[in-house]
Structure 1
Amino acid sequence: MEDFVKINQKVDSISEALQTRHSIREFQNQTIPTEILNKLLSSSLRSPSWKNAQPWQIKVVSGKTRDLLSSRLVNAAQSSQPKPETEWLENYPAKAKKRMFDLGMKVYGVAGIDRKDKAARDEFMLNNFRFFGAPTCIIITTTFDLNFFVGIDIGCYVQSILLLAREHGLGTCAQAALGAFPEVVKDVLELPGEEKVVMGISIGYPKDNSNLNQFHAPREEFNDLIKMYS
């Protein structure tokens, strides 16, 4: 495995944050200092959006509310099917499907879960709704129609959070799963009906002694995805 920067060290450049950022699936039980969280979130509001639309609303959930939301989401996942307000894509190109399948198998392998052990895979999936042990989750909502360009804007915002968190020595996991049961989120956070739950981000300090946190998903080669013209 490559010699990556220690996962809870701060970084000094966007390039370093981008190269060393990856999904964290085990967090320390350590509260994020308010001043760091506020600084990170204030900076994130400079994210670009089409015609300065800024279609995002941000809910930062910690403490007792975080515990209640987690409990309710786990119960929903165990007893009902997802009903996201943002349609989850299913028709991916064959190469993308292979990458997604390979990633799942590698993550299960690092977690010590046999691919045939459905009970263990289901239990591992529930960790999404436990925020992988993170002390805080960020829920992203919108009152905009969920079209392609709003999706691009929100994607830009999510990337800002992921890189800013890495700058401060924090880990993140961006999760579509946290939009799977929007009615639960709306009930716990007392959100109006017109506010759509898009997704969430678990955020906190990564565990150092975690095999899962040492795993970095592979990327395609430069020449496979980038073509230069002159």
Structure 2
Amino acid sequence: MKFSVSGNVTDDEGEALIGVNVYTSDKSAGTVTNEYGFYSIKLPEGKHTLIYSFIGYNQHEERVDLNQNKKLNIRISEETKSIEEVVVSAKRPDGNVTDLSMSTIQLQPQTIKKITVLMGETDIIKSIQLLPGVQTSVEGSSGFYVRGGNADQNLVLLDGATVYNPSHLFGFFSVFNNDAVKGIQLYKGGIPSEYGGRLSSVLDVRMKEGNTQKFHGTGGIGIISSRGTFEGPILKNRSSFIISARRTYADLFCHLLLIP
């Protein structure tokens, strides 16, 4: 008889880890975590040793005695290593192909913060407009055009849900707060079949799940807006919350201009 072992794999801050290898010590069975850090593996009744491994993290071993289905949440910590000198040499172009995905760009919040944009305010869509193959028709607008397509031919997703209007204030601001974003992926071509309904591109935005270990807050005051993000555990190691907000000064400026 076989039973299942399932659960979530997270890092020290409680963020889900994607692509963690989970396998038995005898390598008779194995799986990887999905985009939410979840895994499930079926094993025969008895004692087993599960190994959790991920690049850049310490390997973790867990012994289980199965006589029923079991839920096992695992946290692994980052690994610090001192490495020797690395020599980089060029290869033929066809020798560098490691992925069949084409025209796909991934950006992390740390990368977006380094990109200079209008008025010094960090904005996901304005950062995308600086990428190859992406254009904007009006300076300061958050609409974007990919390889000659129209703005309404782009599919914008937030954690898998369609965002029909990704901007506000006549397109001057996008609706995404960079402090609450975990990562973004832009498909400019070769769009997977799961993202149907658009001709030009797909922008997939993933939000943070919140810190399950401790309370943490970030914020900033800018020229045209201010923002703040607060996250922390509801039940430590089990559930969390994240609150993010951004406030512009546009209405205040308009009010001043209307004063006789």
Band of TM-score, shorter chain: under 0.3
- TM-score w.r.t. the length of structure 2 is 0.24
Higher relative contact order (CA 8 A, sep 6+): 1
Instruction: Decide which structure has greater strand share.
Output: 2
- TM-score w.r.t. the length of structure 1 is 0.27
Instruction: Decide which structure has greater helix share.
Output: 1
